[in-house]
């Protein structure tokens, strides 16, 4: 069993706590680690180390700071497969999905290595006779990430490399459900040889989170999770004067036009809805068919759902793993049942799933619900599982109106062969990430990971220049050097 420890001031610190929570392989039911439930004392120690490290790290030239990131990038690439196996064991996704997650993490490190160009300031000479104006970007200080369970390797890297490259010091609080991945990554961080206190890790649950939110020396916080928790994080951190990025939940619609390539559309939508067992914030969860697209798409998506191979993600040929926990499985199955009670028809029902040789696993097979009713619980709620709800309308205008009526605005996708329909959709749809013939519109690392409405709380998003803006503060200098002064020296 993996022993989970904190990493503070470049030392592995055994937590002095009495409470632990189990890390369970969701495919087997095996307890593979125990996460210590740390609190204020450990957060204080990590913040103290990061605060003391900040002045020297800030003064380190940016071209020197990014050398550490180059080394980290190489170590992540060398250990790519091993990290993927750890993610699969504790998170449940397939090995291919886990390795793809780490490709995105590495891409963010690579983008942050361009920080000498990205954080340049601006200068305007002679805004008035003999007066120049300069805008500088300077780091904030100590920053922190509160990470989710569903992408235990990737999401921290939406933020950490940008924060470090811009001169901040950092604290990572991984999800207590999946602490092994970040523990291994911090073993690589230790090999990188960052100066003492620049990068720290503290494990825990709500007590650790609240300590991060309340600590006066932590200047900025990033979070990804459910909307209810995102609102809590945003409100409490903002009340304490911190910058906040809080990514919330989603109910991502996909609109299927009659002129779409149905074979391609079905494959992409199935991968989006059922990939990672539906446990990702960009998963398609609502399919809206327009006019005659209904019959052909319904038949094809049901075939795709019922034929998907479910099992332990390290086994050959597995297309979908388990959901994260027994509690999650029960919640998903209850929502499916409630959906049918509210008028939906379960064309493919994934409840009651067991997998041979993995009877202790928390599996839910792909599920397709037709005739989902507006304002039903399954329509309003983020299921966070492999469940695709279906609704039908007659026009693209009705489809966009339906998509925009939801409280969430994380992603929306359209499948069509019409350029006019595509332009109308991307212009009118109320979502931060938009896909045209794309099922998972995940932005590349040099674009921001967007989100609107109740899917995001804050201003600047993760990745790219948004991350640079978030982790720096602007200082504007207006200066005069009269010629008669300069002649004295």
Q: What is the pLDDT along the chain (489 residues), one digit of tens a residue?
A: 888 999 999 999 999 999 999 999 999 999 999 999 999 999 999 999 999 999 999 999 999 999 999 999 999 999 999 999 999 999 999 999 999 999 999 999 999 999 999 999 999 999 998 899 999 999 999 999 999 999 999 999 999 999 999 999 999 999 999 999 999 999 999 999 999 999 999 999 999 999 999 999 999 999 999 999 999 999 999 999 999 999 999 999 999 999 999 999 999 999 999 999 999 999 999 999 999 999 999 999 999 999 999 999 999 999 999 999 999 999 999 999 999 999 999 999 999 999 999 999 999 999 999 999 988 999 999 999 999 999 999 999 999 999 999 999 999 999 999 999 999 999 999 999 999 999 999 999 999 999 999 999 999 999 999 999 999 999 999 999 876 655 554
pTM of the model: 0.95
Residue 99: how many other CB atoms lie within 10 Å:
18
Model pLDDT, residue 375: 86
CA distances from 31 to 25, 180, 376 (A): 6, 12, 37
Our answer to whether residue 302 is catalytic in this structure is no
- Write the DSSP assignment of 23-67 as a string of letters: EE-TTT--EEEEEE-B-HHHHHHHHHHHHHHHHHHHHS-HHHHHH
Distances (CA, A) of 94 to 85, 91, 185, 277, 312: 9, 9, 19, 9, 7
Catalytic residue, chosen from 91, 143, 276, 281, is 281
At CB < 8 A and 24+ separation, what contacts does 258-262 make?
A: 258/290, 258/291, 258/292, 258/293, 259/416, 259/417, 259/418, 259/421, 260/293, 260/297, 260/415, 260/416, 260/417, 260/437, 261/415, 261/417, 262/293, 262/296, 262/297, 262/300
Closest Cα to residue 30, out of 1, 51, 6?
1
Query: What letter would DSSP give residue 204?
Result: B
Please provide the size of the chain in residues: 489
CATH of 2-248+455-477, one of 3.40.50.970, 3.40.50.1100, 3.30.2090.10, 3.40.605.10: 3.40.605.10
pLDDT at 243: 97
- Bridge partners of 221, per DSSP, are 144, 244
Structure tokens at 343: 């008028």
What pLDDT does residue 482 have? 74
For strands 169-173 and 142-146, give the pairing: parallel
DSSP symbol at 381: S
In the chain, where are the structural domains located? 2-248+455-477, 252-436
Count CB neighbours of 2 within 10 A. 16
| Exposed / middle / buried, residue 446 (Cβ in 10 Å: 0-12, 13-18, 19+) | middle
**What is the CATH number assigned to the segment(s) 252-436?**
3.40.309.10
Read off the tokens for 398: 């009705």
């Amino acid at each position: 069993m993996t022993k989970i420890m904190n990493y503070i001031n470049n030392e592995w610190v055994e937590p002095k706590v009495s409470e632990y929570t189990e890390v369970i392989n969701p495919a087997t039911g095996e307890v593979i680690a125990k996460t210590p439930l740390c609190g204020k004392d450990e957060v204080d120690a990590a913040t103290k180390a990061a605060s003391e490290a900040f002045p020297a790290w800030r003064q380190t030239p940016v071209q020197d700071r990014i050398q550490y990131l180059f080394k980290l990038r190489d170590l992540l690439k060398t250990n790519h497969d091993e990290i993927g196996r750890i993610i699969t064991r504790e998170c449940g996704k397939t090995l291919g999905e886990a390795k793809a997650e780490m490709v995105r993490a590495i891409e963010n490190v690579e983008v942050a290595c361009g920080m000498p160009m990205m954080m340049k300031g601006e200068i305007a000479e002679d805004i008035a006779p003999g007066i120049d104006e300069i805008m500088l970007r300077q780091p904030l200080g100590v920053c922190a990430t509160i990470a989710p369970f569903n992408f235990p390797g990737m999401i921290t890297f939406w933020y950490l490399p940008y924060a470090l490259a811009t001169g901040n010091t950092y604290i990572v609080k991984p999800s207590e459900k999946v602490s092994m991945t970040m523990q291994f990554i911090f073993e690589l961080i230790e090999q990188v040889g960052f100066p003492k206190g620049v990068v720290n890790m503290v494990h825990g649950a709500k007590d650790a989170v609240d300590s991060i939110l309340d600590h006066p020396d932590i200047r900025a916080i990033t979070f990804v999770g459910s909307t209810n928790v995102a609102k809590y994080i945003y409100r409490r951190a903002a009340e304490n004067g911190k910058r906040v990025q809080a990514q919330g939940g989603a109910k991502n619609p996909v609109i299927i036009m009659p002129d779409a390539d149905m074979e391609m559309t079905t494959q992409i939508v199935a991968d989006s809805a059922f990939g990672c067992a539906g446990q990702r914030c960009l998963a398609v969860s609502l399919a809206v068919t327009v006019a005659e697209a209904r019959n052909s798409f319904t038949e094809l998506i049901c075939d795709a759902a019922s034929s998907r191979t479910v099992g332990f993600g390290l086994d050959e040929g597995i297309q979908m793993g388990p959901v994260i926990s027994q509690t999650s499985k029960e919640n998903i199955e209850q929502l499916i049942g409630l959906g049918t009670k509210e008028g939906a028809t379960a064309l493919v029902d994934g409840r009651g799933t067991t997998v041979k040789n993995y009877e202790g696993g928390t599996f839910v097979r792909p599920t397709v619900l037709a005739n989902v009713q507006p304002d039903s619980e399954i329509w309003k709620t983020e299921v966070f599982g492999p469940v695709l709800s279906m609704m039908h309308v007659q026009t693209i205008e009705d489809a966009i109106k339906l998509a925009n009526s939801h409280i969430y605005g994380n992603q929306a996708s359209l499948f069509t062969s019409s350029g006019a329909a595509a332009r109308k959709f991307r212009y009118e749809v109320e979502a931060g990430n938009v896909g045209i013939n794309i099922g998972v519109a995940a932005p590349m690392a040099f674009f921001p990971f967007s989100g609107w409405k109740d899917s995001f709380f804050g201003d600047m998003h993760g990745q790219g220049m948004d991350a640079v803006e978030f982790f720096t503060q602007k200082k504007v200098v207006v200066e005069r050097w009269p010629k008669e002064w300069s002649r004295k020296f």
